[in-house]
Structure 1
């Protein structure tokens, strides 16, 4: 099944790739490896802000991470000239969770992105990953995730 078909089956429509908010590029491709800059939890209803474990529970944090994954795929699509089918696999994600030092469920939060990518891409969505705490994130968002992808 194509990626486009699978996303449609899941009810997901990729947004336009978000523009960079500062002095960086949204992605860099080196050979078949695509490095995508951090995507924040900014969905159709706006920014998802707050500290997970304080303002947001783990489930809300995971939902924010899912939005980050959708934004990552939007950047992959843009990098591939609008053809998401050029995506071969997700290689690695690094997820940052806006949380206090005593919060310990960062992996459960970033599972929102990981679970979505596996659901959308099957085995091609399985990836290496880091999930870390951040005392603050840009614009006060709950989650930011960067990714490395293989494309053809």
Structure 2
């Protein structure tokens, strides 16, 4: 799973949003600078992104599911909430590591790396939310919001 999330967040080798040192830190490069035996943040943040997005999808389409919450601006509000939550999760974890100095001293990490990783996580969560709301099943199990999608709000 680590390689999957690493390739996803590094945009399949392009990695335009943050440095390779941040990528090493997120893969789990330990504080002693010896091996990838530290916390695998790519996997943890990747699964949290999937979880936040799916829970928000279920909240809109299956739990709230009211006629007052099925307009296109409600879809965009939920998408904005998902993007902000996922940005904050992916920004705060590396940012706290940078602030506490809890990383290998051979790595050069900056706040802009944390912002870039947060932006990458936010974009992937938005893409996942578009995909979740584009397929008819399980969206059609909800009554009121089943026609609210990115493509046809």
TM, length-normalised to structure 2: 0.35
- Who wins on radius of gyration, i.e. which is larger? 2
So what's the TM-score if we normalise by structure 1? 0.35
Which is strand-richer, 1 or 2?
A: 1
Structure with bigger helix share is 2
